[in-house]
Amino acid sequence: MGAYILRRLLLMIPTLLGIMAISFIVVQFAPGGPVEQVIAQVTGQAGGADARISGGGSDFGGGQEFEAAGGGSSKYRGAQGLDPEFIAQLEKQFGFDKPAHERFFLMLWNYARFDFGESYFRDISVVDLILEKMPVSISLGLWITLISYSISIPLGIRKAVKDGSPFDVWTSGVVIIAYAVPGFLFAILLMVFFAGGSFFDWFPLRGLTSDNWEQLSWPARIVDYFWHLTLPLTAMVLSAFATTTLLTKNSFLDEIRKQYVITARAKGLSERQVLYGHVFRNAMLIIIAGFPGAFISSFFTGALLIESIFSLDGLGLLGFRSVIDRDYPVVFANLYIFSLIGLFISLLSDLTYTLIDPRIDFERRDV
């Protein structure tokens, strides 16, 4: 097992390099880089982020060369008439005075030391910014995973036991319809009905806690926390449990039809003993092993729109705004951190298989 883990860890390096390289190349051809964002604000052409004109440089690439309107060549659209020294100062601040390959390798060196620099348009380090938004995403990811698994596993087992019955048919219809309804549309309906829209004003519309949360007692804080989470979690859980439910059902059906189940029944064991004493461990292997990945993916699956609708300032909204504002340090840091987490979670999922079922040996198979 040690050799397998080492091989997987070594394979993470080229995988991560490939992800960062492809993303960096794409950014080079994306118009409207951070320099142009500042130029647009200075000339009053458009509003991107609130830029910091002064500050340290950065090691990220972006930007695109354009022909300025009105004759003459200019490196950036809308820069005609601006002081060239001002443009050079912006390029140096954002790191565009260096060649693209030098910016890329400098970025990799910094990232290898977990030095992500500062945000272009916020006077805060990228790490502090991500940590600031993390509680919202952890809250949504943790609770949506726990709720969906607590619904999916019992429902999937029941559907497998009652396969082909009216219960199985109508619950399958409910699951499919719930999966088909977009989460953001259901979120809007919840907001209209229960968050002060056209009907009831039972739940808060924005934030993870109330403004007076610090003054509340601990029991009141817990109630306030879940009061704010009720509508977002309801909107997200609508389709979150569908895949796991059907996966649980099919996994149990496969195990129930195997020979060892028939043998256990022939020995006189009750259905409950057969189901939970023999079938459960084998059938739940794929479900439990997928839990770490489901937890991480729940950070991003539908989180952006849900965070926007309910004004929850989490990682999904941060990533979206960073892309719009061309805040490349935040964009690349998010990509690097969560790609790295995703690779480790993939390894953890494989190790979970061996923990649940020691018969699985990855040493005997090719990576």
pLDDT score of 83: 62
| Mean pLDDT over the full length of the chain | 77
pLDDT score of 81: 57
Give me 360's structure tokens: 């699985």
pLDDT score of 93: 67
Give pLDDT tens digits for 216-234. 888 888 888 889 888 888 8
For residue 8, is pLDDT > 60? yes
256 or 85, higher pLDDT? 256
Give pLDDT tens digits for 124-162. 888 888 888 888 888 888 888 888 888 888 898 889 888
What whole-number distance in Å separates Cα of residue 177 and Cα of residue 175? 6
What whole-number distance in Å separates Cα of residue 57 and Cα of residue 89? 10
Q: Any idea what DSSP says for residue 68?
A: P
For residue 54, is pLDDT > 70? no
Give pLDDT tens digits for 274-311. 888 888 877 877 777 677 667 666 665 556 778 888 87
pTM over 0.85: no
Give pLDDT tens digits for 82-103. 667 766 766 676 677 778 888 8
Candidate ranges 29-33, 166-170, 239-243, 304-308; pick with highest mean pLDDT: 166-170
pLDDT score of 179: 82
Contact of 9 with 367, CB cutoff 8 Å: no
Residue 15 — pLDDT band, cuts 50, 70, 90? Answer: very high
For residue 343, is pLDDT > 70? yes
For residue 56, is pLDDT > 80? no
Domain with CATH 1.10.3720.10 in the chain: 127-325
The DSSP-derived string for 179-236 is: HHS-HHHHHHHHHHHHBSSSS-B-S-SS-SS-TTGGGS-HHHHHHHHHHHHHHHHHHH
Residues in the chain: 367
Give pLDDT tens digits for 159-206. 988 888 999 999 999 888 888 888 788 888 888 888 876 778 888 877
Candidate ranges 193-207, 244-258, 296-310, 353-367; pick with highest mean pLDDT: 244-258
Residue 364 — pLDDT band, cuts 50, 70, 90? Answer: low
Asked if the 127-325 domain carries CATH number 1.10.3720.10, the reply is yes
Candidate ranges 39-43, 66-70, 137-141, 220-224; pick with highest mean pLDDT: 220-224
Question: What Å distances lie between residue 246 and 8, 43, 46, 81, 149, CA to CA?
Answer: 30, 56, 48, 62, 12
What is the 3-state secondary structure of 82-143? CCHHHHHHHHHHHCCCCCHHHHHHHHHHHHHCCCCCECCCCCCEHHHHHHHHHHHHHHHHHH
